[in-house]
Amino acid sequence: MLSLSTIGFTRWSTTPLIVATARQLHTATLDLAARKGTREKARKAKVKKVVEKVGFIRHDLRKKGKLNLNVANKHIDDSWKQDPKDDCWVSKYYKWRMYSVEEAVQCHRETHHPTVYNLPNAPLYAHVELNMQAEKTTRFVDNFQRMVAIPHRFEHGENRNIIVFAKGQDPLKEAKDAGATLVGGLELIKEIQNGDLQLAEYPFVLAHPNILPELVVIRGLLKKNKFPNPRSGTLGVNLAEMIEKYAHGINYNAAKDEQQKDFGSIVACIGTLQMETKHLESNLSALLQDVNSMRPKREGKFVTRVLLKSPPSGENLKINPFLYIPEQGVFSKKSAKSTDTTAADEEDDAEQDEELRSVAKGAAA
pTM for this model (two decimals): 0.70
Find how far residue 120's CA is from the centre of its chain. 35
66 pLDDT band (50/70/90 cuts)?
Answer: low
Q: What pLDDT score was predicted for residue 201?
A: 87
Cα-based angle 155, 248, 245 (whole degrees, multiple of 5): 170
Backbone conformation region of residue 320, classed left if phi is above 0, alpha if psi is from -120 to 50, else beta: beta
pLDDT category, 14, cuts 50, 70, 90? very low
Q: Which of 66-70, 166-170, 320-324 is predicted least confidently?
A: 66-70
Flag the least confident range among 79-83, 100-104, 108-112. Answer: 79-83
| pLDDT confidence tier of residue 55, bands split at 50, 70 and 90 | confident
Determine which of 59-63, 171-175, 230-234, 312-316 has the lowest per-residue pLDDT on average. Answer: 59-63
Tell me the sheet residues that pair with 153.
none
Please tell me the least confidently modeled range out of 35-39, 229-233, 246-250, 332-336.
Answer: 332-336
**pLDDT score of 250:** 94
When comparing pLDDT for 14 and 317, which is higher?
Answer: 317
Residue 30's pLDDT band, with cuts at 50, 70 and 90, is: low
Average pLDDT, the chain: 81
Mean pLDDT within 45-66: 69
Distance CA 361, CA 363 (A): 5
How high is the pLDDT of residue 44? 74
* In the chain, domain spans: 95-155+250-326, 157-248
Mean pLDDT of 6-32: 48
What's residue 139's pLDDT?
93
CATH assignment, 157-248: 3.40.50.790
pLDDT value, residue 357: 56
Encode 145-166: b = buried (16+ Cβ within 10 Å), e = exposed.
ebbbbbebbbebeeebebbbbb
| Pairing status of strand 250-256 against strand 303-309 | unpaired
Give the per-residue pLDDT at 10: 43
- In this predicted structure, the answer to whether residue 271 has a pLDDT above a threshold of 80 is yes
pLDDT at position 335: 46
Q: Confidence band (pLDDT; 50, 70, 90) for 110?
A: very high
DSSP β-ladder status, 303-309 and 123-131? antiparallel
| Percent of the chain whose predicted confidence (pLDDT) is above 90 | 48
pLDDT value at 20 more than 60? no
pLDDT higher at 60 or 323? 323
Buried b (16+ CB within 10 A) or exposed e, 286-301: bbbebbeeebbebeeb
Span 133-148, average pLDDT: 92
Say yes or no to pLDDT of 68 above 80: no
Higher pLDDT, 251 or 346: 251
Q: What is the mean pLDDT of the segment spanning 219-230?
A: 81
Helix (H) or strand (E) holding 102: helix 101-111
CATH code of domain 95-155+250-326? 3.30.190.20
The percent helix, strand, coil of the chain (3-state, each to 5) is 40, 15, 45
pLDDT over 70 at 355, yes or no: no
